[in-house]
Amino acid sequence: MDCRPRAECQRRPVVRKPGEQGFSLMLLTVSMFVIVGMLGLTFDVGRMFITKNELQTFADASALAGVSYLNGTQAGVTAANSVATAGPLGTTKPNGYDFDTIAITNVTTSYSTTF
């Protein structure tokens, strides 16, 4: 575009209506609130899944450690139960969750009475 007179080539200032000023700031504020909320939710859900996996690993490892003591006698069942409730690492190093910072102490066992 070739403009000969200088006055015609200059941009005109944007004229806004009184109700349109500040809309982008308001939109940015609402968007940041939503993004920070989603970030917090993601963090909490991630921690929940990590804790669930740690507790499931403890239950699986305790069951497998207890099975190794089963020999068909009452003493074997008692030993398997004590190992299953204490955890695979025993009482010398308590098993934990929350990245091994909280010891698992409240263990409840239940067994089937039939096959």
**pLDDT per residue as tens digits for the range 22-76:** 778 889 999 999 999 999 999 999 999 998 998 898 889 888 988 999 998 999 9
Q: Give the 3-state secondary structure percentages of the chain, helix then strand then coil, rounded to 5.
A: 55, 5, 40
Give the Cα separation of 90 and 46 in Å (integer): 28
Q: How many CA atoms lie within 13 A of 67 on its CB side?
A: 6
